[in-house]
Amino acid sequence: MKIDRITLRKIVLPLKSPFVTHHGRLEERPLIIVEARDGDGRVGYGEVTAFPTPFYTSETIHTAWYVLQELLIPSVLSKNVHHPKDIGSIMEGFQGHPMAKAGLEGSLWDLYSKQEEVSLSQLIGGTRKFVTAGAVISLRDDMESYIHDLKKDGYHRYKLKVKKGYEHETIETVQEIDPDLPIMIDANGQYDEKDIDHLKSLDQYGLMMLEQPFAPGDFYLHRELQKKLQTPLCLDESVSGFHDAVQGVQLESCQIINVKISRVGGLMAAIQIHDYCKRKGFPVWCGGMVESGISKAHNLALASLPNFTIPGDLSGSLRYFEKDIINSGIQINKGQIEVPQGPGIGVDVDEEYLHHVTCEAYTFSV
């Protein structure tokens, strides 16, 4: 494939309303956009979805910028890249930093697909033209009106952020609003061994799943809880790459895996996890990171693969933002989102607005 130059952009997108979890409150969303250009004017876009502080994983926007600028991009541009899947081996000499790697790799997948004049979904073997949408509900006071709005859009799954000690209250509040709502809870690793009996008490609610109750990497405690729990456990932060997914399955630490392109180090790793779980009969779903339409388009391509059988964190491009950085937008219709079929990720980036929200930029030329 041809690469002429790569540009990093640090941007900030205002949120419609604060996104609140037990970790804290986001008023705006900083992101890094990676642009890979060739000499014919084609542009591939990737996105780094790390947060300002290391509350979700050890990465931050600042560490990702440094690693991309000083290590990853110079290393990739010094090699002859024939296909996006090649860069995994180029970057494997640098430990960790999966979100930085995923953003760079994503820009090359988009560029390569455009050079081949096929959609990213088609390139990776996607089979779905539409995927089912799921909503994330942060900790908020206007729960009833918010859920009412989500139901109008037809979301098929509702993920509740919870705070330790208030899970029953949150779940019961939602079930009073709609007792038939398909809900799961996202624990974000805030529990430890002494909370096992407390977590067992959540079985009474018939949840779709309980996501990541224990710390990242603790396959043992997740296995011990899953033995005692009827509710399926889902691993999120524990799976930072293909090997982690294999451990989770082999150790019976879960029954479901949440696959996030950015968290596992890129699209290639996400596809490997999908294929492995499909062979093992483990369902997967595509997670989200309060991201722009660029990252959402990458997620839609991934979720078009056949084993993504559970509604993911897939939503319209204006779900979180008053204005997104893509023109056409990603729309939800009766709970379904169309997988873009144009070349690459299949969405049109609003370059004028992208430049407007850019705080810092740096370009590397071959």
Do 61 and 52 contact (CB within 8 A), yes or no?
Answer: yes
CA 102 vs CA 182, 284, 352: distances in Å: 31, 19, 25
260 is annotated as an active-site residue:
yes
Do 295 and 289 contact (CB within 8 A), yes or no?
Answer: yes
Longest dimension (CA), the chain: 61
What is d(CA 184, CA 181) in angstroms, rounded to the nearest whole number? 10
- Catalytic residue selected from 101, 159, 161, 296: 161
- Catalytic residue selected from 10, 101, 159, 260: 260
145 backbone dihedrals φ, ψ, rounded to 5°: -70, -35
What would the two tokens of residue 124 be? Answer: 């990776």
Do 208 and 182 contact (CB within 8 A), yes or no?
Answer: yes
Q: Which of 239, 39, 29, 8 is nearest to 106 (CA)?
A: 8
What is d(CA 34, CA 338) in angstroms, rounded to the nearest whole number? 24
Do 354 and 325 contact (CB within 8 A), yes or no?
Answer: yes
Per-residue b or e along 236-250, where b marks 16 or more CB atoms closer than 10 Å to that residue's CB: bbbbbbbebbbebbe
161 is annotated as an active-site residue:
yes
* Residues noted as catalytic: 161, 260
